[in-house]
Amino acid sequence: MRYILLFVILFTADGYIPQLNTEESQDRPRREIILYKTYGYLDGDEWVIPARVLVQKKRRWLQGLITWTMDLTSDYSDDQIDIFRYRLRNIVANSKGRRTVTIRIQGQDQEQRFQIKDSHGDFPRTDRNGLIRGEIRIPVDLASELLRYQQSENGWLTLELRSGRYRGSGHVQLIEPEGLSVISDIDDTVKVTEIPAGARVVVRNTFFREYSAAPGIAEMYDQWNDAAFHYVSGSPWQLFLSLSSFLFGDQAGFPKGSFHMKSARKNPMTISTWRDLLAFVTNENLTFEQKIDQISVIFQHFPDRQFILVGDSGERDPEVYSEILTRYPGQVKKIYIRDVINDRELNPERLAGMTIIPAPTILRQGVSVEELSEDIADADF
């Protein structure tokens, strides 16, 4: 009964529950625009930037209410509840549809303004999920001027975004047609998630624990100091801010790069959303085609670059990278697999031709996503 009552409150209380005073409320503005880290590639005399932009308004009352309820009904510590509240923020945010977004880049003489174009050449508004997807085109000469003005390193440009009272910023790396690029998985490759251990462990590591970097991988990436990096993950886009802050912060210290993640429904008031999120971080079948599609697009944008592919054995990275090697044999320089399930001994043919990065073996546990979803549905709030 209390579980049903909670969801009635969530559906009807917007605007009536006072804003809760959380530490996170001081960190970022309530109205925000997110430009997910991306890259630019050359097309004639223009840089083409694939862009994914989100406009949203935080539901801090809902974020606080859910974490307050968790605090009352679970055995998680105060620190774990704080982590959960922080990572929940983009899942429960209110996406803003039908908004236009202007992108501004400060130059030496004046501010340059751009808009995202879709595949039809139109300037779209945000959809019902608050998203605009398309591309930005910047003339080469202008881009060079902007890079000089911003004193950019490694081709990174800072962009400002505006939509009425909504504000945000983002970064794009303009990548030359030739050179070395690295495609990197995230979970159990650069960040310890322990996906083979089962859904319960994955959820705890994703939402309730401080992130932990996979040992030695950041140091390996630093050796490729002239490379461009693309992080391709089966995790949902709602975790972008948490993951990028961790990866590119001082503690983990991974090289900055573009992000490529999975779309997810985000209505927090339906069990299906939570099942989606659980499936997106644990169901390898959903991730297989997504990764192949996203990696293929990157290869097609940079046909003259060489690529190193880095993943782990806990999901289907070996199969994904084998397919990419089949499609683009002249561009794949090397494949590295962080072996977290001891396939080097138990299933060596799966990793044939790949360079193995030894890692502690993650024991598999027999807890399914369906069982965890039932636990959530039956929770006594």
Task: Say what the pLDDT of residue 30 is.
Answer: 84
Question: What average pLDDT does the segment 309-332 reach?
Answer: 97
User: Of 92-96, 149-153, 236-240, 309-313, which range is least confident?
Assistant: 92-96
**Is pLDDT above 50 for 208?**
yes
Confidence of residue 85 (pLDDT cuts 50, 70, 90): confident
Strand partners, 339: 358
Question: What pLDDT score was predicted for residue 217?
Answer: 98
pLDDT of residue 68: 73
Beta carbons of 120 and 105 less than 8 angstroms apart? no
Q: How far apart are CA 363 and CA 195, in angstroms?
A: 10
Whole-number pLDDT of residue 108:
73
Q: Considering the chain, what is the average pLDDT of its residues? A: 86
Is 238:91 a contact under the CB 8 Å cutoff?
yes
More confident residue, 29 or 283: 29
Kindly indicate the confidence band of residue 240, based on its pLDDT and cuts at 50, 70 and 90. Answer: very high
Lowest mean pLDDT among 44-58, 86-100, 246-260: 86-100
Per-residue pLDDT at 265: 60
Contacts of 170 (CB under 8 A, 6+ apart): 34, 35, 36, 37, 38, 53, 158, 159, 161
Distance CA 336, CA 301 (A): 22
Which residue segments constitute the domains of the chain, with CATH numbers given? 2-174 (no CATH), 179-377 (3.40.50.1000)
SS3 117: strand
pLDDT value for 271: 64
Q: Is the pLDDT of residue 371 over 60?
A: no
Q: pLDDT tens digits, residue range 12-49?
A: 333 333 333 333 334 557 899 999 999 999 999 999 99
Buried b / exposed e along 186-215 (16+ C-beta atoms within 10 A)? bbbbbbbbbbbbbbebbbbbbbbbebebbe
67 Cβ neighbours under 8 A, 6+ residues apart: 81, 84, 85, 88
In Å, how far are 47, 48, 59 from 101, measured between CA atoms?
Answer: 19, 18, 21
Contacts of 185 (CB under 8 A, 6+ apart): 231, 232, 233, 291, 310, 311, 312, 315, 317
Q: Helix or strand or coil: residue 359?
A: coil
Pair 311, 337: CB distance under 8 Å: yes
pTM for the model: 0.86
Side chain identity, residue 238: Q
Instruction: Count the helix, strand and coil residues of the chain and give each as a percent rounded to the nearest 5.
Output: 35, 30, 35
Which of 196, 281, 278 has the alpha carbon at shortest distance from 243?
281
Percent of the chain with pLDDT over 70: 82
267 versus 296: which is more confidently predicted? 296
Sign, CA dihedral 164-166-169-174, equals: negative
Residue 144 C-alpha from the chain's centroid = 28
Q: Which residues have a Cβ under 8 Å from the Cβ of 122 and sit 6 or more positions away?
A: none
Residues 6+ apart with CB under 8 A from 142: 107, 112
What gap in Å lies between CA 324 and CA 327, rounded to an integer? 5
Bridge pairing between strands 179-184 and 228-236: parallel
Q: What is the pLDDT of residues 250-276, one digit of tens each?
A: 999 999 999 999 987 665 554 655 666
**Residues 320/325/327/332 CA torsion (nearest 10 deg):** 120
Do residues 97 and 124 touch, judged by C-beta distance below 8 A?
no
Q: Is pLDDT at 286 greater than 90 in this prediction?
A: no
Average pLDDT over residues 168-175: 97
